[in-house]
């Protein structure tokens, strides 16, 4: 026995490693403990073991034909990559053959829909509509639960300021405050009011933590950051997820300041299970326990198991570290059994809360499955989410909408008719044939004979097919061209050094512009992209992301003006790759950036302005937002500050504006960003109509983490800004006084 293990035992399992047993309330405490008391050590460790099923692989698969036998022996607590009422029933029946008949938990990456696919999460975040975001998560949960799934590995709440990182498509973008609200909405949507409701699933706050800050945007890369930045920028969505009752957390792959997240005691024991009193389950990421060997943090798989369980990782996803090494560690006294018990209690609690001990098959109902999947109401929801996620980036001379358009439309670009691309990344449960393409959407709205389609380029190679494209363009009255990324260019392990769209796509847009006709560009992709040449040669640009099942109809709703676009960018779009990481809430520096350059915080060779700022997005109408007003200049530290502004529709059609409020604390005991989003309101106004919008700023909006990592509100002068995006703002000042 090592000295460390001896100390652990002597001190009742907590030699400064912050072990704190989960607090379980009745009636569950009694039930959980009575099951636990019946379990052998091997059965306990079995509960901590999660294997992938065969239906799909979302990580490197280990060949193993013994899984079913292991389930029957009670050596498996959970399976991932399993779906369907029949398949889940079959596996659950094996679990019912084990000695204690403890049901399996089935997990799956339900990232933006199950069978009905909604916009990719980054796209949906552009809606700035938290109610919608909650409803799509609830819709996804309903379908997933009907297909036998108890647990989604979502939402991903990693803040990221680096568009090279392929996983930005899975999150809510660069802003912590907005990302926190989106994370909460998604958790609430997935879990509903109670896990006992058979149309809800357990949510999983991932990836804990700071995965989005991987150096140079390379997936899985090291993260090195101050604790201040960790607490201020990266942790708030996770903390809020605990407050929203998230049932589980997933560790991240990265090393954080020298310690891999999966073996990180500070993250899991001190913060999550300690300070934040989280009573759910922590699961490793795929193989991330074993990967601590490659990190150079532990010498072998058994030591990896020890590091992970001591640090607070309850379930082992596909490392086989717990199932192979933990028993010996406990028997030798090197890991206190109390650690294993605590992890098991957390997992059993969830199984009780889901009602699986009462009826292990309650999620396996083929009739409910058939009635729920791809039902009309979910398809309608997908269309609503799709149109609300589109962002209008440019609209010169009111090129759009194609309201009562009677002419011919040249629809060019193979992406416009690619079903698999409409579905987007991380959406394998959506059936490709069920996706509606832009071509189908336009043909349905304007008539087949009025849409002249041409591929324009080869989808696989991007080789241009110019003669065919120009021929279609010449026969039409307006050109709609689809350009951008393929769906598999963003997502896990999809980092890119160059986020420009293919040069052939840019050339295509320029060539089409050469016909003299109006060019409307549909920009597709899962991250901020650089598309300057295409933008310059377009009359209008719609950012359409990957919108899912109803993509083509949703895009047509926007093109036609049946829906007036209202999306806003949740991430800054850089003008140049060299600007990355670029984000709106940067700090001032001692030599703030200046157009004159000189000895300032600038580049010699490129501008510092992005192509499109955070929060940006146009409408077919125009809005004016007044400077903010406050009824007094001085406010007490404990008071809630009320800020008002007026917004009016100055254009000619009805539309929705997202009024954004930004704040700057001018002087702080630690320096503060030049602006931070602290509120937004969506208003729908008829032409000429105006309305007053009011914001209340309390501690959550006015405070920050000081150098001692305490959340404080400091007296002093604040600048409050209101506008339609993070750049075009009008401001006022107020004082907070002690
Ligand atoms: C690895 C990914 O990082 C994680 O997000 C996902 O949930 C697991 N694989 C399971 O598929």
CA angle 562, 566, 572 (to 5 degrees): 140
Mean pLDDT over residues 302-309, rounded? Answer: 98
Pocket of ligand 1, beta carbon within 6 A = 58-59, 80, 109, 153, 206, 285-286, 492
What secondary structure letter does DSSP report for 501?
A: P
Question: In this structure, what are the phi and psi dihedrals at residue 664, rounded to the nearest 5 degrees?
Answer: -135, 125
Interatomic CA distance for residues 508 and 295, integer angstroms:
45
Give distance in angstroms: CA of 288 to centre of ligand 1. Answer: 10
Tokens standing for 480? 């709609």
Mean pLDDT over residues 31-49, rounded? Answer: 98
Question: In this structure, what are the phi and psi dihedrals at residue 28, rounded to the nearest 5 degrees?
Answer: -75, -35
Please state the atom number of ligand 1 nearest to the C-alpha of residue 107. 10
The closest alpha carbon to 372, from 540, 721, 139, belongs to: 139
pLDDT by residue (tens digit) across 321-380? 999 999 999 999 999 999 999 999 999 999 999 999 999 999 999 999 999 999 999 999
Tokens standing for 515? 């016909």
Four-CA torsion 545, 548, 553, 555, nearest 10 degrees: 0
pLDDT band at 466, cuts 50/70/90? Answer: very high
pLDDT of residue 694 exceeding 70: yes
Give distance in angstroms: CA of 566 to centre of ligand 1. Answer: 32
Beta bridge partners of 269: none
Interatomic CA distance for residues 134 and 204, integer angstroms:
15
Interatomic CA distance for residues 420 and 436, integer angstroms:
10
CB 179 within 8 A of CB 409: no
Residue 428 to residues 141, 170, 369, Cα–Cα distance (Å):
15, 14, 17
Residue 278 to residues 21, 36, 313, 583, Cα–Cα distance (Å):
11, 20, 13, 31
CB 118 within 8 A of CB 140: yes
Choose the residue to mutate in 78, 153, 214, 260 for probing ligand 1, maximizing ligand atoms within 8 Å of C-beta.
Answer: 153
Interatomic CA distance for residues 228 and 623, integer angstroms:
38
Residue found under tokens 């680096």: 162
DSSP string spanning 562-603? Answer: SS------SS-B-SSGGG-S--SS-B--SS---TT-SSSS--
pLDDT of residue 55 exceeding 80: no
Interatomic CA distance for residues 278 and 243, integer angstroms:
9
pLDDT by residue (tens digit) across 104-126? 999 999 999 999 999 999 999 99
What secondary structure letter does DSSP report for 500?
A: B
pLDDT by residue (tens digit) across 628-685? 999 999 999 999 999 999 999 999 999 999 999 999 999 999 999 999 999 999 999 9
The closest alpha carbon to 714, from 676, 668, 672, 663, belongs to: 668
Q: Is the dihedral of CA 496, 498, 504, 508 positive or negative?
A: positive
Q: How many CB atoms lie within 10 A of CB 509?
A: 26
Distance of CA 709 to the CA centre of its chain: 26
Mean per-residue pLDDT of the chain: 96
Please state the atom number of ligand 1 nearest to the C-alpha of residue 154. 7
Give distance in angstroms: CA of 491 to centre of ligand 1. Answer: 11
Residues 6+ apart with CB under 8 A from 516: none
Tokens standing for 708? 């001692």
pLDDT by residue (tens digit) across 413-441? 999 999 999 999 999 999 999 999 999 99
pLDDT of residue 2 exceeding 50: no
Give distance in angstroms: CA of 426 to centre of ligand 1. Answer: 10
Interatomic CA distance for residues 585 and 587, integer angstroms:
7
pLDDT by residue (tens digit) across 172-206? 999 999 999 999 999 999 999 999 999 999 999 99
pLDDT by residue (tens digit) across 595-642? 889 999 999 999 999 999 999 999 999 999 999 999 999 999 999 999
pLDDT at position 9: 42
Mean pLDDT over residues 92-105, rounded? Answer: 98
Give distance in angstroms: CA of 311 to centre of ligand 1. Answer: 20
Residues 6+ apart with CB under 8 A from 707: 228, 669, 670
Interatomic CA distance for residues 300 and 64, integer angstroms:
20
Nearest residue (by CA) to ligand 1, atom 7, is: 153
Q: How many CB atoms lie within 10 A of CB 13?
A: 20
Instruction: Write out the H or E segment, with its range, that includes residue 354.
Output: none
| Catalytically active residues, by annotation | 285
pLDDT at position 56: 78
Interatomic CA distance for residues 112 and 430, integer angstroms:
10
Interatomic CA distance for residues 580 and 600, integer angstroms:
18
Give distance in angstroms: CA of 53 to centre of ligand 1. Answer: 14
Please state the atom number of ligand 1 nearest to the C-alpha of residue 206. 5
pLDDT of residue 5 exceeding 70: no
Four-CA torsion 11, 12, 17, 23, nearest 10 degrees: -150
Choose the residue to mutate in 160, 286, 291 for probing ligand 1, maximizing ligand atoms within 8 Å of C-beta.
Answer: 286
Choose the residue to mutate in 57, 58, 60 for probing ligand 1, maximizing ligand atoms within 8 Å of C-beta.
Answer: 58
Interatomic CA distance for residues 244 and 438, integer angstroms:
37
pTM reported for the whole predicted model = 0.97
Beta bridge partners of 660: 680, 723
Q: How many CB atoms lie within 10 A of CB 370?
A: 11
Residues 6+ apart with CB under 8 A from 677: 175, 177, 178, 585, 614, 615, 660, 661, 662, 726
Tokens standing for 358? 């009462």
The number of residues making up the chain comes to: 738
pLDDT at position 17: 61
Higher per-residue pLDDT: 63 or 214: 214
pLDDT of residue 292 exceeding 90: yes
Nearest residue (by CA) to ligand 1, atom 3, is: 285
Nearest residue (by CA) to ligand 1, atom 1, is: 286
Give distance in angstroms: CA of 612 to centre of ligand 1. Answer: 31
């Amino acid at each position: 026995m090592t000295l460390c293990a001896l100390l652990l035992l002597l001190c009742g399992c907590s030699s400064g490693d912050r072990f704190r047993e989960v607090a379980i309330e009745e009636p569950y405490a009694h039930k959980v403990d009575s099951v636990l008391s019946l379990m052998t050590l091997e059965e306990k460790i079995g509960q901590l073991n999660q294997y992938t099923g065969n239906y799909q692989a979302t990580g490197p698969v280990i060949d193993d034909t013994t899984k079913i036998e292991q389930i029957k022996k009670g050596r498996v607590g959970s399976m991932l990559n399993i779906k369907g009422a029949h398949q889940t029933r079959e596996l659950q029946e094996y679990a019912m053959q084990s000695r204690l008949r403890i049901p399996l938990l089935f997990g799956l990456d339900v990232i933006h829909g199950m069978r009905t696919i909604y916009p990719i999460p980054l796209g949906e975040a552009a809606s700035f509509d938290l109610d919608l975001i909650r409803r799509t998560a609830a819709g996804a949960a309903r379908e997933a639960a009907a297909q036998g799934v108890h647990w989604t590995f979502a939402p991903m709440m990693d803040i990221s300021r680096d568009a090279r990182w392929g996983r930005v498509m899975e999150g809510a973008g660069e802003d912590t405050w907005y990302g926190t609200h989106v994370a909460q909405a998604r958790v609430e949507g997935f879990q509903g009011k109670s896990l006992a409701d058979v149309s809800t699933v357990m949510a999983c706050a991932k990836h804990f933590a700071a995965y989005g800050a991987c150096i140079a945007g390379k997936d899985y890369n090291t993260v090195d950051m101050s604790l201040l930045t960790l607490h201020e920028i990266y942790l708030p969505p996770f903390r809020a997820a605990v407050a929203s009752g998230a049932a589980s957390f997933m560790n991240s792959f990265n090393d954080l300041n020298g310690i891999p997240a999966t073996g990180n005691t500070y993250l899991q024991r001190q913060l999550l299970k300690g300070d934040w009193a989280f009573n759910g389950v922590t699961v490793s990421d795929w193989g991330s326990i074993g990967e601590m060997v490659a990190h150079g943090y532990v010498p072998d798989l058994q030591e990896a198991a020890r590091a992970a369980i001591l640090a607070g990782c309850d379930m082992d996803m596909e490392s086989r570290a717990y199932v192979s090494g933990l028993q010996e560690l406990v028997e030798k006294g090197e890991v206190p059994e109390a650690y294993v018990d605590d992890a098991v209690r957390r997992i059993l609690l969830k199984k009780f809360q889901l009602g699986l001990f009462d009826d292990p098959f309650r999620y396996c109902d083929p009739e409910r499955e058939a009635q729920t999947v791809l039902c009309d109401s979910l398809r309608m929801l997908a269309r609503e989410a799709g149109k609300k996620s589109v962002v209008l980036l440019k609209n010169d001379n009111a090129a759009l909408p194609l309201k009562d358009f009677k002419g011919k439309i040249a629809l060019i670009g193979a992406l416009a008719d690619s079903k698999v691309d409409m579905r987007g990344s991380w959406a394998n449960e959506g059936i490709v044939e069920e996706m509606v393409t832009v071509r189908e959407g336009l043909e349905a709205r304007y008539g087949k004979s009025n849409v002249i389609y041409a591929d324009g380029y080869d989808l696989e190679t991007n080789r241009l097919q110019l003669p065919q494209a120009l021929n279609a363009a010449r026969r039409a009255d307006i050109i709609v061209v689809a350009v951008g990324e393929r769906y598999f260019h963003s997502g896990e392990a999809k980092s890119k050094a160059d986020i420009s769209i293919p040069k052939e796509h840019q050339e295509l847009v320029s060539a089409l512009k050469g016909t003299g006709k109006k060019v409307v560009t549909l920009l597709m992709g899962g991250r901020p992209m650089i598309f300057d040449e295409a933008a310059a040669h377009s009359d209008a640009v719609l950012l359409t992301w990957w919108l899912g099942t109803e993509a083509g109809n949703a895009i047509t709703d926007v093109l036609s003006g049946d829906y007036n676009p209202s999306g806003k960018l949740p991430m800054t779009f850089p003008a140049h790759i060299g600007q990355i990481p670029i984000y709106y809430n940067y700090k001032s520096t001692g030599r703030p950036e200046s157009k004159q350059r000189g000895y300032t915080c600038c580049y010699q060779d490129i501008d510092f302005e992005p192509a499109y700022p955070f929060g940006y997005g146009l409408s077919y109408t125009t809005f004016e937002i007044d400077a903010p007003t406050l009824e007094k200049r001085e406010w007490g530290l404990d008071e809630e500050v009320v800020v008002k502004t007026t917004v009016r529709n100055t254009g000619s059609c009805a539309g929705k504006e997202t009024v954004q409020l930004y704040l700057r604390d001018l002087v702080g005991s630690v320096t503060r960003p030049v602006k931070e989003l602290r509120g937004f309101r969506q208003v729908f106004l008829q032409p000429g109509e105006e309305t007053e919008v009011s914001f209340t700023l309390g501690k959550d909006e006015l405070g920050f983490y000081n150098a001692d990592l305490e959340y404080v509100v400091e007296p002093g002068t604040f600048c409050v800004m209101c506008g339609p995006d993070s750049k075009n703002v009008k401001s006022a000042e107020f004082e907070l006084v002690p």
